[in-house]
Every structure is written in structure tokens, then in C-alpha cells.
């Protein structure tokens, strides 16, 4: 019996380590274009769990996952259990991102570096933090299975979220004081992972 318990622990540990181990692609830009964020005509708000989702922009593109954070206990975890920091252009190239340390915490991100591989303003122009809301259970499973280094093709909407008993959660649609965007809520309607 003890042998089966140990075997189960080893199998679970192996799966967990595989699921958090980064995906390496080698040098080169793997997501060469900035995601498209387009204005939309009036899109009807819709209900999701106990919230109202208000589409603001249409989003599509290919990006690299630089960092991922899974939330279990914060107030928004039941709606958006995963945040991903994504990069494109030079920030999808391992030659650059290997020199930067990314950290996600409390729905914000931070980064550290000794000497940035490209100018800092370009770093911030080529990354964004996405709070992911999955439109289907299948997409939810894919999102929860994302690993650092995955290249994803995504389609959906940049949205605002209205709660019944809390302040609304809004996406930033413009940069503040020439700073980077750090609060983009993405309602994902299609996701391809490689």
C-alpha cells in the first residue's frame, strides 16, 4: 500500500513540475506583431456568473507568455483565475527575456534587470498584463494549463466587469502619464496554444 502512495506522490510531483517548467523555443522573435485592439460598434453587455461583462474593444493576436499567476482566493478568482504577462516583438525573443525577471502578484506585475537588453521604454511597449476570463470550459482548461514560454493565438474582447456589490473592474484603454498598461481584462473566445 505504501508503495502505491509513494508512486502516486511521485507521479503527481512529476506532473506538477512539468506543468510549471518553462517552454523554450530558442532565439528569435516568435510573436513579431503587436496584438490588434480595435474599436467595436456597440456590443451588448452580457451576464457571466454574478457579473455583467461590457465589451470595450476587440482583441486578436499572437503573443508569448512571459509569466503566469494562478489565483485561488482573491475576490476576482472565480471570474478570472489566471493572469498572464505577455510579450511580442523583441519581448518574445529569449535573447532578451532571459535577462529580465518577471513577477506577478496581486493582479500587478513587476520586473527586475541588471542591464536591460533593449531600451526600457521598448520593454514596456511590448508587454502587457492580461487578466483572463474564459468564455468556455475548454478555454478555461487551456488557460489554466498555460506555461511560461507558450506562444498563444488569442481572440476575444477587452472588457469591463460590473459586480453586484463591488466597484467595477475596468480595463485600461489608454496609457496613463506615458506609463505602460497594466490592467487589461480579456474575455477569451478562441485560444490556440503552442
Q: How far apart are CA 100 and CA 46, in angstroms?
A: 39
Query: Is 16 a residue whose pLDDT tops 80?
Result: no
How sure is the predictor about 21, in pLDDT bands with cuts at 50, 70 and 90? low
Q: Which of 194, 157, 186 is nearest to 85 (CA)?
A: 186
* Contact indicator for 149, 102 with CB cutoff of 8 Å: no
pLDDT score at 42: 81
Q: How many alpha carbons fall within 13 Å on the CB side of residue 7?
A: 4
Alpha-carbon distances of 102 from 26, 48, 85, 113, 192, rounded to whole Å: 19, 31, 8, 9, 23
Query: Is 99 a residue whose pLDDT tops 80?
Result: yes
Q: Which residue has the higher pLDDT, 45 or 24?
A: 45
What percent of the chain shows pLDDT beyond 90? 70
pLDDT score at 150: 97
How many CB atoms sit inside 10 A of residue 169's CB? 19
Q: Which residue has the higher pLDDT, 43 or 20?
A: 43
Amino acid at each position: 500500500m505504501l508503495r502505491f502512495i509513494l508512486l502516486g506522490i511521485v507521479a503527481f510531483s512529476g506532473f506538477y513540475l512539468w506543468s510549471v517548467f518553462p517552454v523554450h523555443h530558442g532565439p528569435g522573435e516568435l510573436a513579431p506583431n503587436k496584438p490588434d485592439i480595435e474599436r467595436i460598434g456597440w456590443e451588448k453587455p452580457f451576464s457571466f456568473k454574478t457579473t455583467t461583462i461590457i465589451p470595450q474593444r476587440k482583441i486578436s493576436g499572437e503573443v508569448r507568455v512571459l509569466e503566469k499567476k494562478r489565483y485561488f482566493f482573491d475576490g476576482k478568482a472565480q471570474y478570472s483565475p489566471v493572469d498572464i504577462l505577455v510579450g511580442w516583438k523583441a519581448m518574445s525573443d529569449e535573447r532578451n527575456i532571459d535577462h529580465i525577471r518577471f513577477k506577478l502578484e496581486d493582479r500587478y506585475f513587476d520586473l527586475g534587470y541588471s542591464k536591460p537588453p533593449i531600451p526600457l521604454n521598448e520593454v514596456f511597449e511590448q508587454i502587457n498584463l492580461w487578466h483572463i476570463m474564459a468564455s468556455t470550459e475548454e478555454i478555461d482548461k487551456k488557460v489554466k494549463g498555460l506555461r511560461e514560454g507558450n506562444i498563444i493565438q488569442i481572440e476575444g474582447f477587452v472588457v469591463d466587469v460590473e459586480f453586484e456589490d463591488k466597484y467595477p473592474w475596468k480595463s485600461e484603454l489608454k496609457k496613463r502619464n506615458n506609463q505602460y498598461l497594466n490592467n487589461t481584462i480579456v474575455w477569451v473566445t478562441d485560444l490556440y496554444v503552442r
